[in-house]
Amino acid sequence: MKRPLYYTFGNHMHWVDMQWLWGYDVLPGSVADMRSLVKSTGARGNVNFDAVGYEKMAAECPGALADLRAMIEDGSVEPVGCSYGQPYGLFLPGESNLRQLTYGIRATTRLLGVRPRTFWEEEFYMFPQLPQVLRRCGYTGACLFFQWTWHTPELPRESASLIHWEGIDGSRIATMPRNALNVHQWPEDFDGLLEQGLVRELPLPAIAQWIELMPSRDWMCRSELLSPRLKELLTDERFDVRPRTCSQLIAELIEHTPADMVVAREYKPDEMWHGLTLGKNADRHPRTMRRVENRLLAAEALASLASIFGRPYQSWDVYPTWELDEAWRELLAAQHHDNHECEGLCGFVAYHQMHKSLSHASEVFDRTLSLLSDRAGTPLLHNGLGWSRSLIRLDPLTGLTNCGRVPPFGFVDLSQTRPARAPQLTEESERMVLSFGDSKAIINTGRRTPTVQLTSPIFVEGVLTPEWAPRLECRVENESVALTPREVSLSSAGCGIVDIDITAAMRHRMRPTTLELAMRGEGLEISISDIGMLAKPDAGLNAAWKFPIDVSFAVSSIRADNPMSVSEVRGSGRVKRKYPSGDWMTSSQWFEDLEGSITAHSFVDLLDKDGSGLLIVHDGSQQFFRTQRGVEVVISAYDSWDEGRFEKRGGIDARVLLLPHGPMRDVDRIKIAREFELESSIKIEPIRATQSGLAVGGGMRPEQHPIPTVFAPMEVAGDDTILCHALYRESPKSGEHLPDWVGHEMARRSDGACTHPFVVRLIEWEGASGTAILRFPGAIAAAAKTNVMGEIGKHVGGGEETCWLEPVACPAPEWANGFDIPGGWNEVHVPLKPREIATVMLDLVLGRKEWRDLDAKRKEWATIHRVEGEDGHHA
């Protein structure tokens, strides 16, 4: 009796990079070659294009798109992955990860006629919250085989064809794991495959293969090269070979595998190795995308706030949907893995995309804030985060200024400021002391190599090792190089900032660098200037420029964040990274071994056994390595995959905050990190009056419709382990082909008045059940807790957590007392499970579009062209 053997392939290709460099035939050629492979071998598999690629195919090669749809309809292939821009999800902020999937799923469903149900991306796309996100986007299965290409990702190899991949919140999704039956695109990978252990040991072995089809002599993966070996596999007389698409394969594995034989597997961050030179080129790519996302989120929140005040609008419509959608599309495409991984090859296009995205977002933000300032009659300052916080700004005339406490996503009057409490700087014999409250940074200037110590009430003797000096280390031409402190001086910027010049030994002939030290609250902020101008180190992470941080206590545990959650980490085991020795396509490749890798989206917290410790917050340097006395932060690296393109670029600074603390919650770490990313006590944004100007097309003059000088679109109460991370509005376009999209029902209930539902994103950070109380101005006509796609119902992905919410009247927030709001204030209570990512959609009556009676103004247009000219004829 023949033994069963499943087979599926994933055909990976993308508009980003590939079409840019190989030309317009890339995607249609890949479809045609995939059709040839399927026809000649009888295989079934999956198509994995970036969703922006499907959009480009609809415009540029609709015939090829029709061919792809036909293959999907006859069951030969199915779309998998379907993120908009195929990014490295681990390196993205949380909201970008969610938009990658919502924009990608909508585009795929619209253009291919089917909704994606299986998540399988070729490049490393994984983090602890992803199972929850996938289920709430409607995915029912996944595959965790990431192919080695330029990067070398790894996960633990399982002895199973099917597992339940479990997220940090407990969500589970049926998944094909990494195992010995994962095959790369090369025919040579079939050698010995059917003779190895899992084929004999598993009752239902399943082969998963990545291919990258393109019928070009300028490419190595073509059906003509793959077909012979694949035919041998599929016709092997020893096996009952069952070609399937990924979702078909997973469904059959579930059907034929006893439930108690499918194990649940939660992968810890230390078990995930991304395989990339994270830190390359001073992290320019991920730094830029973080900056753009922050601006986009602020523009969305501010535009949502402005719409509540009614006309005049910031532009023609109640909400600038297309502008903000286009900004997201440009950013999501720019986040593509090739733009980061292959930065030297194609990343320059991504920077143009991100610049365009930033321009769109800044245009919306600036004109909206200008409109609101005109209506308020005073310059305003906006809080881009979803919780109240005090904002400090630098006034060129008066110094540090406290602008007061600004409510969530709200604004305050900039004219009502007061002097801020400033850090103190004292110069003593052979030392300088920066102090704020009971915390001090002591710079010992009397030594040949000046040292720095940071003390607090928790760490009276200091949290750093006694001999710690801020320095940078790397390897150049296989020789160790260090930039160490030499000169210490007061910064010309004032405000208690100390400059430390760090230099290398004379023989290295290396450009010195300046560190700026300043107290930020009770922590020490260190800014490393112009890291983009550092000398080129040898290739690889072992040789990269690193900033060591050594602590005075024995590190008992470490906490680090990743997209939308925080985990305990210890540092990876031994992992590998490969590099080319010359030309990236044709030269031989070499490996480096690495150990103790930690990927931290915004912070690493080194903890003593009593829970006290040193919180290290960064503004974009995500790659850390564990050391005996603490950690090293990778500041900049050279990746030889970029060949000669190691650009020296000024204007890129790396900032870290060193904050000694007692026992601390994850939610507080997150708040500190997000505020640090948006603000800087060293290079702080000066106060600038907004440019006055009328909103063209918005209707009516701003000054005739005054608004309060302090306001916010919402207030967040309830359990403080829950934070609000985004506020925006969606249009009916978001609900196309999604019959359970809650906006459809809101429009029906309101007789069409609800055209742009508000969306709120919440995350529970402490692993505890709780309730968020969301308060809004005016009546709440309808509110619902939905899945990530905005759907509601027990049958939708993550539907067991969706429900309609009951609005009730509530008191106005303290900052809103005295403001007469039509309909008063109302609230909804949103229950969240531990570490849940929740989406809430609302029909706020004050935010409904105010339609003008344009027909009453037809007379201004209907006859104006009937002007009799001097010759007696009408114009």
Using one digit for the tens of pLDDT, what is the confidence trace for 138-194?
999 999 999 999 999 999 999 999 999 999 999 999 999 999 999 998 888 888 888
Whether 851 and 810 map to the same domain: the answer is: yes
Residue 726 has pLDDT above 70, yes or no: yes
Share of the chain above pLDDT 70, in %: 95
Q: In terms of Cα–Cα distance, which of 218, 238, 223 is closest to 187? A: 223
Tell me the Cα Rg of the chain: 29
DSSP designation for 682: S
**Average pLDDT of the chain, as a whole number:** 93
List C-alpha distances in Å: 676 to 412, 462, 682: 20, 23, 11
pLDDT on residue 863: 86
Residue 686 lies in a domain: no
Is 361 a member of any domain?
no
Determine the pLDDT at residue 429. Answer: 86
- Any idea what the CATH number is for the domain that residue 629 is in? 2.70.98.30
Q: Which of 271, 300, 328 is the last residue before a domain boundary?
A: 271
Same domain, 201 and 264: yes
Q: What percent of the chain has pLDDT over 90?
A: 82
Q: Are 652 and 722 within one domain?
A: no
Is 743 found in the same domain as 636? no
Average pLDDT over residues 248-276: 97
What are the φ and ψ backbone dihedral angles of 460, each rounded to 5 degrees? -65, -40
Residue 695 in domain:
no
691 has a pLDDT exceeding 50: no
Q: Do 569 and 514 lie in a common domain?
A: yes
Residues 651 and 788 grouped into a single domain:
no
Residue 261's domain comprises: 3-271
User: How much is the average pLDDT of 462-488?
Assistant: 95
pLDDT at 45 over 70: yes
Q: What is the pLDDT of residue 703?
A: 67
In a domain, 365, yes or no: no
Do 542 and 628 lie in one domain? The reply is yes
Where are the extended beta strands (E) located within 491-618? Answer: 498-503, 513-520, 523-528, 545-550, 557-562, 565-569, 575-580, 589-594, 597-599, 603-607, 613-618
How sure is the predictor about 517, in pLDDT bands with cuts at 50, 70 and 90? very high
Last residue of a domain, one of 229, 255, 271: 271
- pTM listed for this prediction: 0.96
Q: Looking at residues 626-647, what average pLDDT do you find?
A: 95
pLDDT in tens, 51-87: 999 999 999 999 999 999 999 999 999 999 999 999 9
pLDDT, residue 342, reads 95
Q: Indicate if 674 and 714 belong to the same structural domain.
A: no
Q: What is the pLDDT of residues 322-378, one digit of tens each?
A: 999 999 999 999 999 999 999 999 999 999 999 999 999 999 999 999 999 999 999
Mean pLDDT of 298-310: 98
Residue 197, both tokens: 């252990």
On the question of pLDDT at 692 being above 80, the answer is no
Mean per-residue pLDDT, 454-464? 97
In a domain, 544, yes or no: yes
In a domain, 321, yes or no: no
User: Does 656 share its domain with 761?
Assistant: no
Do residues 674 and 727 both lie within one domain?
no
pLDDT at 690: 44
**Shared-domain flag, residues 666 and 796:** no
End residue of a domain, out of 209, 244, 271: 271
Residues 669 and 797 placed together within one structural domain of the fold = no
Residue 459 covered by a domain = yes
Domain count, the chain: 3
Give the pLDDT confidence score for residue 873 in this predicted structure.
60
Residue 623 lies in a domain: yes
Q: Residue 638: left if φ>0, alpha if ψ -120 to 50, beta else—which one? A: beta
Question: Burial code of 707-741, b = ≥16 C-beta within 10 A, e = fewer?
Answer: bbbbbbbbbbebbbbbbbbbbbbbbeebbeebebb
CATH code (residue 12) = 3.20.110.10
